[in-house]
Structure 1
């Protein structure tokens, strides 16, 4: 960046930069974010009739596009530049002489931000995780961020090549530790060294090569055990030989593909715990709450897929004959006042599984008026430590031993996963789903003003603890980690930030760490299957859904009355535009209604179908819901859309939602996800899996779900006219070429099948658990130092913050 800044300040563009700074200052503001900076520069270029290239590719234009923040102080101009994804630089220009500039440390910028909110103090706690990265391999190309497994496999293979005998002993030590309920697996005590293991495997390959390929393991198990090889290599002679040969090839010619294939067969995971604390975990129609529904559905489907995959792995390893069974537990809280759901049951079997369970553990009754009821994700922090202590005892009793893998979900579940994994010394996986910090602008700078409602001081600290302590992190998209060239990623927002008068985060997370892995989830293909699979559809359900969405004036459909349905379609045969979302400002359904209302051409060709959880202002449970509901109703009245909109406002079971997508597809409709920001967007996958051409917000990870292809399906929800034109362009192509809709429909179906399915997700997840378990064994000294630092942060900052929240709750 030095050369670029030098070029600007040593040319005529310096005068333009000074003028731009002057224009920003004239607004009366002192802190400017990227969109404001770009807008001001565009206004300047328009006012002074600069050519188009000047905005985009002049030296100053390039510098402005790299600039994500400008802070104006009396004597200084501060620039936060992002020259590439995952990298930030702080530069200071002197106001009196902009020719004078220098690179600054993150600490200096954090002080500037504190001064901006009048909360600067000379001494403040600094949190810096960078020292723990030393000596640990990191990804060097930002394009490979999120591919930690592939990177680690290449690194480990290179190490085996450099010192084969050492790594043979390391591999032997790791495999020798594998056991199930004190039953040794793979390697017995007769084998003492890595070299001896290598020789015995060579001999075993010869012996097994003489057996019939399909001969069961039990027939030749004694021969292998004589060599010191215990159960777990396979269930048939051919399977055992393949596994032994993979080990042999790994030592002879270590390659990432061989390592991955061998590790995939290692029987190292039998008991898995999925932690999802606050989410109203139930399997009836009341699954989840609006703020946690996506997470709960994800966890339930992941548990089903995990149990099936583990059962298959155990069988292929030849361990089912020993009575070894997989166990998957979703750990959540028991809620006494459960509002008619099953959330007050301690134990509940998960549907479509043989041995997967929901285990509910109650919070201790600090104040029963609070702990007996559902608790918001913003208020839950004081109860997590004691919950983890109580849950550990119940988990060990339920599982009959320690778990092999603990997976946290969301900030609170990840913190409990950290506490359990730290105590039990097992592998920890972190899944954020959605981090709150980047969703609330300036939430860290103004945390004191927001503390009573959101308790961000506890939450952001919990995030730092769990994401750094985790052995590996799963994300659903690349953008979740480091965003795009134009915007910060969710995890990237934790790289450097200030909590004035509490602490400064100088380096909060290593974005190039190999612990990050992009492993998207799937969809439940039993429910969200393509519209053209007529044999799987229920005729009665199809008719009821069509009545609900298009035709019927029946007062009661699925429990829906007139109170749950709004609008009567004048022409139900027009092509439907459908949106399914909860009522929140972020989902931005009001924006979609306004986009539809402003476009006469859209209204001419289409009806708008909204499916939400609420319909009337009286149903709102908070000010955000009330504001969004009121806005939608006002827009419908403003644009007189009553005969062109059908709005269903009731929570429907998943099978009915699946049929809604298919009913829209039957009429060659489209699905629109109009969120102002979406970390992932499960409804997008559900719609695509059902065969619906789908338009989705370009802001967030949702943009990665759609392959743009020939047509532009990424929309900017702030550009209503542009979005309407994009949709109309697609409709025009469909009207001109009737096959076009079917081509796009088939394309999105195949995209979900090929990239977003639970079988691929679960295979990758278990592979990650095994390889990172081995990596931690190799890297245990560095990891222990990191965990001690995390423990200090937990006790020094997190616990005191939660104690303050508990004091508030005790007074209720």
Structure 2
């Protein structure tokens, strides 16, 4: 980067750089982000009539295209550049335009503090980097998020380097496996790795004389005489395959063999999924608007994990011993539950044999708060006591310790880290969406936002839990490290400031193999293609069509002049990030779209007085204004309804019956549950290019849209619709492609298989090659007690003054 900058400073482009910085200064802003920088540079190139190549391939063009932030000070200009994904460098250009020097992250954090007039010469610095030194590390940014594959290759290389040592390590790992005191795989009769190899060969001799279909109970005692306990398989052929995999792993270790062998190890029987603030239930609940996606994800994940564990236990032959999986969703009990089951301590998960929702109440404190639902921004003071009480109840329900604890969202992940530490369980974190990157400058101006959002507690909790976790599941690669044009959600925690509170010099190692991309699935019993007529309920179909197109209701706005037009369908909470107002504006300003289509919006609210959130009320009011201003009566239908999952599935299919399209117009979308639902229901889907959606949608040139570019978005949609009109089969062909895309790439069976495999690998990894874990955990405990808990205590103090109306 220094060489590139010097090329600019030693050429005529230096003048252009000076003029650009001067132009940026006239904007009145001192802190500029990538979009503003590129826009300003593009305007400068146009105004100064630079040749077309200058924007991209000139020295200055390259420098600007690497730049993600510029901070203007009187004596210098600061550049945050990303030469490649997940790599950030800080450079300072002197006012004399001569010196261009690399600076430390600490220097950048000081500058950011000065920008908001909150600089302190001495401040707490949080640096996790020393605790990852010496740990195996991914060296190519393209492989970030492939921790499982990395560890498989690494373990193979270690087995080849020192096979005798690693045979003993493998023996120790397998010898530790048990279920409630019942030894699995290996008994005490086998005392070393070398002896295990000999006994495996003897077992294979026995099994080669048995019928492949012979069940395990017929030859169980023969294997136990050799020191081989249950868990190798349920039939002679299955046991033989597993033992042969073990032999191959010892003789010729390959990543595929490691994965295949570890997948068969019976190591996980009890799983806890934690989702605390989400109003978790099954009938008439499915989360509040801010958590509906998270709740549906957790319920589907739990149901499918229990199913997958049941399959694995049966294949291992352990069902013959009465062993069965036990999965618990841990959430909070809400006494004032508005007629739902959220005040029920224990609720069985529908469609499962042994999966449950366990609800634990918050400590009483102020009953005006703790007996009601609590927003994700206000929940922090209650998590410490919740974790202690939840530990007791989990141990009672499981009658043992969980093997795997999966946290969801910031609060659930923090509790997962507390429980996993105490229960010595493997910890998995799933963020769903991290608030810091969603809310621009939320860390820089945290003090101004603290009264409403309490970001200081949340961001500290995120740092603690993501570093405490054994592994992290992300739905997309971009969630971790972003794209060349955008910083990833986890990457945003790498280096940031909370002025007057602390500086994070190095918050997370993005190249650590704890990161794994494992996209979620979709419930194919609810969301499926409209052509599956045998699975559709005619009565439900008729009612949904009436609701969408003709029914009059106080919670429905608009009567369609021509209900047979293709519908543009959008479903989202009505907030600024989901951007339904801009979608409506896009439709309002396009006669072509109005000629081809009706716009149908599905939200949970229709009027400003139905929400207590000022931002939501503002968005609802703005949407009403747009409808009136552009005279959209007869062209738009807005449903302020909460639909059940079954009704929602039929809603997507009803839109597909009219050969409609789905549009997701969000400013940013980490992944997009509704996108999966719409696509598997057969709807061609246009979705925001910002976030992880590009990893769902295949035909990016056609279906990825820029929600800030209304004209470009309109053009893409109109071109698609005109092609559908011109080629009758085009819509159907597109519909079939998106259905197959989701079925093949985003299904719960694959998700659960991968998640359990990762958990087993990390259990082995933690034993075989322990990181500097205890020191890191002690460091994180210090942050928890000295930073997080005081921030949470301030929220509790505020809650103590809330009185009944």
TM-score range, shorter chain: over 0.9
The question of 1:406 aligning with 2:405 is answered: yes
Check the 8 A contact 2:216/2:235 in 1, yes or no.
yes
Check the 8 A contact 2:268/2:760 in 1, yes or no.
yes
The question of 1:61 aligning with 2:61 is answered: yes
Task: Give the match for residue 371 of structure 1.
Answer: 370
Using the TM superposition, give the Cα deviation of residue 781 of structure 1 relative to its aligned residue in structure 2, in angstroms: 5.3
* Mapped partners of 1:762, 1:748: distance in 2: 22
* Mapped partners of 1:606, 1:309: distance in 2: 43
Residue 765 of structure 1 is aligned with which of 720, 743, 755?
755
**SS in structure 2 opposite 1:157?**
helix
The runs of at least 4 aligned residues of structure 1 exceeding 6 Å deviation read none
Using the TM superposition, give the Cα deviation of residue 617 of structure 1 relative to its aligned residue in structure 2, in angstroms: 2.1
Q: Please give the residue correspondences for 1:334-345 in structure 2 after superposition, counting only pairs within 5 Å.
A: 334-345=333-344
* Mapped partners of 1:799, 1:569: distance in 2: 54
Using the TM superposition, give the Cα deviation of residue 741 of structure 1 relative to its aligned residue in structure 2, in angstroms: 0.8
Task: Give the match for residue 107 of structure 1.
Answer: 106
* Mapped partners of 1:217, 1:313: distance in 2: 15
Task: Give the match for residue 449 of structure 2.
Answer: 450
The question of 1:269 aligning with 2:268 is answered: yes
* Mapped partners of 2:724, 2:450: distance in 1: 51
Task: Give the match for residue 589 of structure 1.
Answer: 580
Check the 8 A contact 2:135/2:771 in 1, yes or no.
no
Task: Give the match for residue 16 of structure 2.
Answer: 16
Deviations 1:199-255 (A, max 9, x none): 111111111111110111111111111110000000000000000000000000000
* Mapped partners of 1:270, 1:33: distance in 2: 48
Task: Give the match for residue 70 of structure 1.
Answer: 70
Q: Please give the residue correspondences for 1:22-171 in structure 2 after superposition, counting only pairs within 5 Å.
A: 22-95=22-95, 97-171=96-170
**SS in structure 2 opposite 1:630?**
helix
Residue 651 of structure 1 is aligned with which of 642, 652, 665?
642
Task: Give the match for residue 286 of structure 1.
Answer: 285
Q: Please give the residue correspondences for 1:768-807 in structure 2 after superposition, counting only pairs within 5 Å.
A: 768-780=758-770, 782-807=772-797
The question of 1:749 aligning with 2:742 is answered: no
- RMSD over aligned Cα atoms: 0.9
533-542 vs 617-626, which deviates more?
617-626
Using the TM superposition, give the Cα deviation of residue 769 of structure 1 relative to its aligned residue in structure 2, in angstroms: 0.6
574-583 vs 767-776, which deviates more?
574-583
Using the TM superposition, give the Cα deviation of residue 312 of structure 1 relative to its aligned residue in structure 2, in angstroms: 0.6
Residue 725 of structure 2 is aligned with which of 735, 744, 748?
735
The question of 1:616 aligning with 2:607 is answered: yes
* Mapped partners of 1:240, 1:461: distance in 2: 47
Deviations 1:592-648 (A, max 9, x none): 111111000111111111111111222122111111111111111111111011111
* Mapped partners of 2:15, 2:402: distance in 1: 64
The question of 1:686 aligning with 2:677 is answered: yes
* Mapped partners of 1:27, 1:222: distance in 2: 81
Check the 8 A contact 1:482/1:488 in 2, yes or no.
yes
Q: Please give the residue correspondences for 1:601-750 in structure 2 after superposition, counting only pairs within 5 Å.
A: 601-708=592-699, 712-750=702-740
**SS in structure 2 opposite 1:186?**
coil
Using the TM superposition, give the Cα deviation of residue 456 of structure 1 relative to its aligned residue in structure 2, in angstroms: 0.7
Using the TM superposition, give the Cα deviation of residue 771 of structure 1 relative to its aligned residue in structure 2, in angstroms: 0.2
Q: Please give the residue correspondences for 1:286-685 in structure 2 after superposition, counting only pairs within 5 Å.
A: 286-550=285-549, 552-553=550-551, 555=552, 562-685=553-676
Runs of 5+ unmatched residues, structure 1: 556-561
Check the 8 A contact 1:776/1:783 in 2, yes or no.
no
Check the 8 A contact 2:132/2:771 in 1, yes or no.
no
Task: Give the match for residue 559 of structure 1.
Answer: none
* Mapped partners of 2:646, 2:305: distance in 1: 22
* Mapped partners of 1:504, 1:617: distance in 2: 39
Using the TM superposition, give the Cα deviation of residue 444 of structure 1 relative to its aligned residue in structure 2, in angstroms: 0.8
386-395 vs 35-44, which deviates more?
35-44
**SS in structure 2 opposite 1:78?**
strand
* Mapped partners of 1:769, 1:142: distance in 2: 23
**SS in structure 1 opposite 2:148?**
helix
* Mapped partners of 2:62, 2:355: distance in 1: 54
**SS in structure 2 opposite 1:113?**
helix
* Mapped partners of 1:286, 1:356: distance in 2: 18
* Mapped partners of 2:540, 2:372: distance in 1: 35
* Mapped partners of 2:591, 2:438: distance in 1: 33
Length-normalised TM-score, structure 1? 0.98
Deviations 1:367-402 (A, max 9, x none): 111111111111111110110000000000000100
Check the 8 A contact 1:276/1:409 in 2, yes or no.
yes
* Mapped partners of 1:426, 1:219: distance in 2: 34
Check the 8 A contact 2:578/2:665 in 1, yes or no.
yes
Check the 8 A contact 2:2/2:100 in 1, yes or no.
no
* Mapped partners of 2:492, 2:363: distance in 1: 34
Length-normalised TM-score, structure 2? 0.99
Q: Please give the residue correspondences for 1:249-268 in structure 2 after superposition, counting only pairs within 5 Å.
A: 249-268=248-267
* Mapped partners of 1:341, 1:731: distance in 2: 43
Residue 800 of structure 2 is aligned with which of 803, 807, 810?
810
**SS in structure 1 opposite 2:767?**
helix
328-337 vs 790-799, which deviates more?
790-799
* Mapped partners of 1:131, 1:244: distance in 2: 40
* Mapped partners of 1:783, 1:490: distance in 2: 24
Using the TM superposition, give the Cα deviation of residue 197 of structure 1 relative to its aligned residue in structure 2, in angstroms: 0.7
Check the 8 A contact 1:613/1:650 in 2, yes or no.
yes
Deviations 1:101-145 (A, max 9, x none): 110110111111111111111111111111122111111111111
Check the 8 A contact 1:270/1:310 in 2, yes or no.
yes
Check the 8 A contact 1:672/1:695 in 2, yes or no.
yes
Check the 8 A contact 1:678/1:701 in 2, yes or no.
yes
Using the TM superposition, give the Cα deviation of residue 100 of structure 1 relative to its aligned residue in structure 2, in angstroms: 1.0
Using the TM superposition, give the Cα deviation of residue 703 of structure 1 relative to its aligned residue in structure 2, in angstroms: 2.2
**SS in structure 2 opposite 1:712?**
helix
**SS in structure 1 opposite 2:702?**
coil
**SS in structure 2 opposite 1:331?**
strand
* Mapped partners of 2:357, 2:285: distance in 1: 15
Using the TM superposition, give the Cα deviation of residue 580 of structure 1 relative to its aligned residue in structure 2, in angstroms: 1.1
Using the TM superposition, give the Cα deviation of residue 667 of structure 1 relative to its aligned residue in structure 2, in angstroms: 1.1
The question of 1:3 aligning with 2:3 is answered: yes
* Mapped partners of 1:648, 1:77: distance in 2: 50
Runs of 5+ unmatched residues, structure 2: none
Deviations 1:60-99 (A, max 9, x none): 011001111111112111111111100000001111x112
**SS in structure 1 opposite 2:772?**
helix
Using the TM superposition, give the Cα deviation of residue 478 of structure 1 relative to its aligned residue in structure 2, in angstroms: 0.8
**SS in structure 1 opposite 2:616?**
helix
